[in-house]
Amino acid sequence: MSVVPEDLTAVSDAWISGLATGTLSGVVDEAAVGGLSKPSYTEFFHALGGVAGADKLDQMQHDLNRTIRDNGISYNVYADASHGPARPWSLDMVPLIIDAAEWEHVSAAVEERARLLNLMMCDVYGEQRLLHEGLLPPALIHADPGYLRPMMGHRPARAVWLHLFAFDLGRSADGRWWVVNHRTQAPSGLGYVLENRLSISRTFPAAFRSLRIQHIASFYKHWLDSVRQLSELGEGARIALLTPCPYNETYFEHVYLARYLGITLVESQDLQVRNQRLYIKTVHGTERVHVLLRRVDDTWLDPLELRPDSQLGVAGLLQAVRAGHVLVANLPGSGWLESPALHGFMPGIAEALLGKPLDLPSVPSWWCGEPPCWASVSSRLHELVIKRGPGLRYDSGPPSVIGSSLSATERQQWAARVARHPEQFTAQETLPLSTLPVWKDGQFERRSLMWRVYACCDADGRYPVLPGGLTRIAGDAGGNVSMQRGGSSVDTWIISAGSIDQTTLLRDRLKAEDVRALRRPVSSRAAENLFWLGRYSARADYTLILLIHALHSLQGRSP
């Protein structure tokens, strides 16, 4: 079902009237309530007044796509051979707009859950009360490679294990937001959040101003300031961002964030540990690194104590972390928090550690490793989503499967597979995700969405939440929200109830003193690459000169 409006000032009303005859029942539309356009979306479309027709919308989307290409914003899709190793980042025009009252509830609930996850890390690597009291099954923790025994007994500065959190939220048919995933190892997407905001706010400046959308730059500053304060050196700490390699799916945002935050981008070859301290190898010798923002998953960080075949980590890094001479954010050892099986135990854990239920609940989940749970869900696999791991040793197959999409024979096969190794699987309720209008092929279409919200922890024990986030859109009407499977993204706008934070990390004009103040070290690896780039460029230049002379000689002319 789609609607093609003739006038942008009537887009919202036309969209809603079209939904009245739609076939997607039991699904919340983020742009409407009770069959009428939400005031925020009415104002958004009316702010585009004077621009008419589908042709103009096509042109605006085309201009937005060209901006993405011109800025080199990319996302590596491993399975997409048609675009090579990287494809342009996908961004749709219409943002997800959240009003101030709803944001107040969501941000408070996200802060509460972030505080709970940090308490869980302190407990599992400390006194292990949750295990002793039966609130967490030992098999669920100790069998997960995300639980790192080398970190047992570690006491981080001010008991902060997790410095950055990401939560994937989905809205159900009753209008409530539910937590679908925790992202705690190396949460990705902050660079794309920033680029989405810059692109969309410049495309729709009038709507952005009239709706009084909250700015997001202060969150990045707060995140950087907090890790500095928690480091050994404090305010003078040198910060580096560790990237796996240019072929990583989100490599663009690694580069983008490093430039935006004014920190050094490094790979494992640029670093070494000596005397329990981390150093970067530069053209002037080694220099200390006090904070390492990493985009490498836990088990790859240290080939000495974790995966011996890893070329993405630094030998001795965990030893330097335990000695307190380098702050790795997030600290290694939180992979078990990302397990889908954990969601079923969150209500009891919240009561034990917080003394109250969670304001933002998890999607109902059952770990099949408990016989009563497996007995209760085995007969209703057609209604549930079956998920594996992560990290547990399991047989081959997809990471998750929707039971309703399986035939009777396939369900029997999956039931037998789970019965063989029930501890490796989790059953979750199917969540019919809410939808948002997106402009595709000259018309509006409904696409499912998932909202990723970010929080950080500061040295004072507070958990600021980014007023926005990364909203991902399904690539087709099937509702599978995945960037690796052709999904897209939209900007997320939070309407401000008070004053708008005017913090910015961008300079209007770069000055000579700004360049001098950067003083970023040049790694020896980068210097070597630049040297060989110069050598091969010179060879190409000499070869071209030789070819020109040869061509003139063949034509009987003097060069």
| pLDDT at residue 477 is higher than 70 | no
| pLDDT at residue 21 is higher than 50 | no
State residue 441's pLDDT score: 77
Contact 332, 298 (CB under 8 A): yes
Cα 250 off chain centre by: 9
**Least reliable range by pLDDT among 30-34, 61-65, 132-136, 313-317:** 30-34
pLDDT in tens, 506-551: 776 767 766 666 666 778 788 888 888 898 999 999 999 999 888 8
Nearest alpha carbon to residue 222 among 555, 501, 3:
501
Which residue reads 């050094």 in tokens? 264
Q: What is the Cα gyration radius of the chain?
A: 26
| pLDDT at residue 427 is higher than 80 | yes
How is residue 548 annotated by DSSP? H
State residue 158's pLDDT score: 93
- Please state whether beta strands 264-266 and 239-242 pair in parallel, antiparallel, or not at all (unpaired): parallel
> Mind giving me the DSSP string for 371-427?
HHHHHHHGGGGGGEEEEE-SSS---SS-SEEEGGGS-HHHHHHHHHHHHHSGGGEEE
Confidence of residue 284 (pLDDT cuts 50, 70, 90): confident
- At 66, which helix (H) or strand (E)? helix 53-70
Q: Which two tokens stand for residue 222?
A: 């707060």
Q: pTM, whole model, 2 decimals? A: 0.89
* Residues, the chain: 559
Asked whether the CA dihedral 219, 224, 227, 233 is positive or negative, the reply is negative
How far is 75 from 64, CA to CA, in rounded Å? 16
How is residue 253 annotated by DSSP? H
pLDDT in tens, 99-147: 999 999 999 999 999 999 999 999 999 999 999 999 999 989 998 999 9
Which residue reads 């093609």 in tokens? 4
**Strand order in 400-402's β-sheet?**
365-367, 425-429, 384-388, 400-402
Classified as helix, coil or strand, 302 is coil
pLDDT in tens, 340-383: 999 999 999 999 999 999 999 999 999 999 999 999 999 889 88
